[in-house]
Amino acid sequence: MKTPEINLEELKKIKEENFKERMEFIKKYADWQKKTSNKKWSTQQGKVIN
């Protein structure tokens, strides 16, 4: 069985892109949470948990 060739540079690039996307999402969510009433965002969090 032959081991697949892995391009480490491409994996590094994908990892960096994923990290950037996650950070952008976190910032957007934090901004939304700051400008949204506690009742509204806690209700939505409750729906996710249940």
How many C-beta atoms lie closer than 10 Å to residue 39's C-beta? 8
pLDDT in the model for residue 8: 93
Specify whether the CB–CB gap between 44 and 36 falls below 8 A.
no
Alpha-helical regions (H) of 1-50 = 8-35, 38-49
pLDDT digits (tens, 9 = 90+) for 3-50: 888 899 999 999 999 999 999 999 998 998 889 888 887 787 788 887
Terminal-to-terminal C-alpha distance of the chain? 45
pLDDT in the model for residue 46: 82
Calpha distance 41→50 (Å, rounded)? 14
pLDDT in the model for residue 15: 97
Q: Quick one: tokens of 50?
A: 């249940």
Mean pLDDT across the chain, nearest whole number? 89
